[in-house]
């Protein structure tokens, strides 16, 4: 059994002379949560639309569960639930009716559909609002209803395009919690795009970084971080004051620079008005602190920075520009 449920091979999409997606090769394993990460206009949504067969690739192939997105789009749509970036519902129908409509479009028998819709509404916490018109829903409620709508057909893969856009922190947390639960408890494969780094960091098994139509990195967050910052994985920031009694006037930090520089594994030291930025390959915070104190300097601030997705993102995009 092939573990890769989505296989994208040498995918290109061109609009006229503009290349929106360039030589994309990507495999997504069954049951994983995959985050497509990149700035606006990087080609994330275009890729997602091609996976669903909404637009034709210029060249290359996409298969979902063994079906081609171009020639067997109907089969793909049976497997894939898709939540568009700007999800919309029929405002004159209630949330329940909207879901029932989707269920009937998927040829689900009425009784089974009613049962499933009620279950899903409960799961996304909308049971009380089920009889309200969808037009009266808030953005967060719409997004949760959208998630329920995606799940009505019992998909194997769900694809979410910027699912957290425009949600408040509480709504965002709820939605991401739901997505994470679904993947863990029901073995669903989740692919979602975002330019919001922190969310991706928390719930994604793997992320792919998209810049200008190119996938420039694709791995889990730890490996991405390791790959980028091999020499200096950890940065220590220390604010040092020279004691008032100090006799050193010029180059007052030279002694401490010398001391810290001698610590093993320190790769670089930068100083900006008493704020030391020390890059090192392993954690030497304790040694740095000791050196400062032993040399009679005042340590007013000490902070150990580990690289998160933010830094990875910035580092990559700086490199990409």
CB nearer to another protein: give 36 or 51: 51
Residue 116 interacts with another protein (CB under 8 A): yes or no: no
**How far apart are CB 225 and another protein at their closest, in Å?**
35
Q: How crowded is the C-beta side of 13, counted as CA atoms within 13 Å?
A: 25
Residue 253 interacts with another protein (CB under 8 A): yes or no: no
Q: What is the DSSP secondary structure assignment for residue 282, as one 8-state letter?
A: S
Q: How crowded is the C-beta side of 167, counted as CA atoms within 13 Å?
A: 23
Q: What is the DSSP string of 128-180?
A: GGTTSBGGG--HHHHHHHHHHHHHTT--SEEEEESTTTT--HHHHHHHHHHHH
93, 90, 82, 227: which is closest to 162 by C-alpha? 82
Candidates 77-85, 115-123, 191-199, 257-265; binding stretch for another protein (CB under 8 A): 77-85
**How far apart are CB 70 and another protein at their closest, in Å?**
13
Site for another protein in 38-57 (CB under 8 A): 49, 52, 54-55
**How far apart are CB 133 and another protein at their closest, in Å?**
12
Gap between the Cα atoms of 157 and 269, Å rounded: 47
Residue 77 interacts with another protein (CB under 8 A): yes or no: yes
One residue of 89, 96, 297, 307 binding another protein per CB under 8 A: 89
Name the residue with tokens 């994470």.
Answer: 180
Gap between the Cα atoms of 247 and 17, Å rounded: 67
**How far apart are CB 156 and another protein at their closest, in Å?**
13
Residue pair 35/194 in contact (Cβ under 8 Å)? The answer is: yes
**How far apart are CB 212 and another protein at their closest, in Å?**
20
One residue of 41, 66, 109, 243 binding another protein per CB under 8 A: 109
One residue of 11, 50, 87, 266 binding another protein per CB under 8 A: 87
Residue 75 interacts with another protein (CB under 8 A): yes or no: yes
CB nearer to another protein: give 106 or 118: 106
Contacts of 76 (CB under 8 A, 6+ apart): 51, 52, 53, 64, 65, 67, 68, 69
Residue 90 interacts with another protein (CB under 8 A): yes or no: yes
CB nearer to another protein: give 142 or 256: 142
- Terminal CA-to-CA distance of the chain, rounded, Å? 41
**How far apart are CB 152 and another protein at their closest, in Å?**
9
**How far apart are CB 277 and another protein at their closest, in Å?**
45
One residue of 66, 88, 227, 308 binding another protein per CB under 8 A: 88
Name the residue with tokens 């006229």.
Answer: 16
Residue 115 interacts with another protein (CB under 8 A): yes or no: no
Residue pair 7/59 in contact (Cβ under 8 Å)? The answer is: no
Q: CA dihedral in degrees (292, 296, 299, 304; nearest 10)?
A: 10
**How far apart are CB 61 and another protein at their closest, in Å?**
20
One residue of 110, 136, 248, 293 binding another protein per CB under 8 A: 110
Element spanning 28, H or E:
strand 18-29
Site for another protein in 134-193 (CB under 8 A): 146, 149, 153
* Residues of the shown chain interacting with another protein in the complex, contacts defined by CB under 8 A: 49, 52, 54-55, 74-75, 77-78, 80-82, 84, 86-92, 101-102, 104-112, 146, 149, 153
């Amino acid at each position: 059994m092939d573990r890769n449920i989505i296989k994208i091979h040498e995918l290109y999409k061109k609009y006229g002379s503009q290349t929106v997606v360039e030589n994309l090769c990507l495999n997504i394993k069954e049951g994983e949560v995959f985050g497509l990460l990149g700035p606006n206009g990087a080609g994330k949504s275009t890729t997602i639309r091609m996976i669903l067969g909404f637009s034709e690739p210029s060249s290359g192939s996409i298969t979902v569960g063994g079906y081609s997105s171009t020639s067997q789009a109907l089969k793909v749509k049976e497997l894939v639930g898709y939540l568009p970036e700007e999800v919309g519902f029929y405002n004159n129908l209630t949330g329940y009716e909207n879901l029932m409509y989707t269920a009937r479009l998927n040829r689900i028998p009425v009784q089974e559909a009613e049962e499933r819709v009620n279950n899903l509404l409960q799961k996304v916490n909308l049971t009380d609002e089920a009889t309200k018109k969808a037009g009266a829903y808030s953005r967060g409620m719409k997004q949760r209803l959208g998630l329920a709508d995606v799940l009505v057909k019992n998909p194997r893969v769900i694809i979410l395009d910027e699912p957290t856009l425009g949600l408040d922190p509480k709504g965002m947390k709820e939605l991401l919690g739901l997505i994470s639960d679904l993947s863990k408890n029901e073995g669903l494969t989740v692919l979602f795009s975002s330019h919001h780094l922190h969310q991706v960091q928390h719930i994604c098994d793997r992320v792919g970084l998209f810049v200008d139509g190119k996938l420039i990195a694709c791995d889990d967050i730890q490996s991405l971080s390791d790959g980028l910052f091999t020499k200096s994985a950890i940065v220590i920031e220390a604010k040092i004051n020279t004691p008032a009694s100090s006799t050193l006037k010029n180059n007052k930090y030279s002694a401490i620079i010398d001391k810290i520089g001698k610590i093993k594994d320190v790769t670089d030291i930068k100083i900006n008005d008493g704020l030391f930025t020390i890059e090192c390959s392993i954690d030497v915070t304790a040694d740095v602190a000791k050196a400062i104190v032993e040399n009679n300097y005042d340590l007013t601030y000490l902070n150990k920075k580990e690289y998160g997705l933010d830094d990875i993102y910035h580092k990559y995009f700086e490199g990409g520009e």
